[in-house]
Structure 1
Amino acid sequence: MTTQFFIPMRPPTTTHNAKELHAYMKGGKPCAVLHDSSELKAARAKLHAYLAPHAPEKPIPAGRPVRLLVKWMFPAEGRPDGSWRTSKPDTDNLEKALKDEMTRLHFWHDDAQVCSEIIEKFWADICGVFVQVEELA
C-alpha cells in the first residue's frame, strides 16, 4: 500500500528542539523540566491540521515496515527553484514533529515502523510538503 499527498503550506521552521526550561525548587532541591515552547505547539498544531485530511482509515499494522519519503519545499524568495536548502532546520529535526503527528493520526501503529526514510529540503517557487508513505513487504 502506498499513499502520497502534497500539503501546500509554508513549512514550519520550529522543530522539536524548541523547548522551554522551567526551573523550580522541590523539597529544597533545584529541579528543572523541559516543556514544548508555544512556537513548537503552534507548529505541531499546524502539521496536525494539514495532515488530518490525509490520515488513513486504518493504520499500517504493528510490525509492518514503512518507507517514508518527505520533500520539504521552503519559499524560494529569490533563490533558484529546486536548489538545495543547506541551512537550518536540520532534516532530522523537521521529521521528528512530522512523524509524531503522523503517529497521532494513525498513519501507522508506531513510528518505529519507519525503516526507510528519504528526506529532502530545498527552495521552491511552490512551497509545501510532499509526503509518501509506503508499506514495505
Structure 2
Amino acid sequence: MINFFVPGIAAPQGSKKAFKRGKKIVLVEMSEKLPAWRDAVARVAEGHAPDEPLDCALRVSMDFYLPAPARSRFGKHPAGVPDLDKLARAVNDGITAGGLWVDDSRVCSLHVRKHWAADTPGVRVTVEPLWDALERAL
C-alpha cells in the first residue's frame, strides 16, 4: 500500500474555455492553478513510486481537504465547487506524471471525498494493488 499527502489547494481539471484563434477553436483549462497543482502531486507521487511503475489493477482512495469558508450553505459538507470528479482527474494525471503507475486507466476502484480542512489543505492519497485488497478481505 502506498499512502501520501500533497499539501496545497487542489485545482480541478476538466473545465475548459474556448477561444477562437484565426479559424481554429482552441480549448484552454479554466484553472490557472492546475499546472502547479499537478506538478506538486507529481513530485510527491514520484517520491513514493516503486522502481517500476505499477502496472496492475489498482484501488485508489482520495480525501481532499479544502479551505473552509467563513460560511457554507451546506454547513459541515463541502457540497459546492470544485467538482469532486475534476479534482480526482487532476490528481490521477499528476500521479501518472510522477511515475507511480503506468497510467490512470489501471485504477479500477476509486473512492473520493471532500472535507473542510481543519488545518492544512491538500489531498491524502492511498494506492493499493487490487489483489492485495481482495486477499485481505478473504
TM-score range with shorter-chain normalisation?
A: 0.7 to 0.9
Q: Matched residue of 1:21: which SS?
A: strand
Could you tell me whether the CA contact under 8 Å between 2:64 and 2:113 is conserved in 1?
Answer: yes
Q: Give how far 1:106 is off.
A: 1.6
- CA, structure 1 residues 79+49, in 2 after alignment: closer, same or farther (shift >3 Å)? farther
Question: How large is the RMSD of aligned CA atoms in angstroms?
Answer: 2.3
**1:48-63 equivalences in 2 (<5 Å):** 48-61=42-55
Q: Distance in 1 between matches of 2:70 and 2:45?
A: 28
Q: TM-score, length-normalised on structure 2?
A: 0.77
Q: Give how far 1:54 is off.
A: 2.7
AA at the equivalent of 2:53: P
Q: Which has the higher strand share?
A: 1
Q: Which has the higher helix share?
A: 2
**1:22-41 equivalences in 2 (<5 Å):** 22-25=19-22, 30-36=23-29, 38-41=32-35
Please list every run of 5 or more consecutive structure 2 residues that lacks an aligned counterpart in the other structure: 132-138
**1:6-45 equivalences in 2 (<5 Å):** 6-7=5-6, 9-12=7-10, 14-25=11-22, 30-36=23-29, 38-45=32-39
- CA, structure 1 residues 128+43, in 2 after alignment: closer, same or farther (shift >3 Å)? closer
TM superposition outliers: structure 1 runs of 4+ over 4 Å:
77-80
> How many equivalent pairs are there?
126
Q: Matched residue of 1:68: which SS?
A: strand
**In percent, how many aligned pairs have the same letter?**
30
Residues 1:128 and 2:130 are matched in the alignment: no
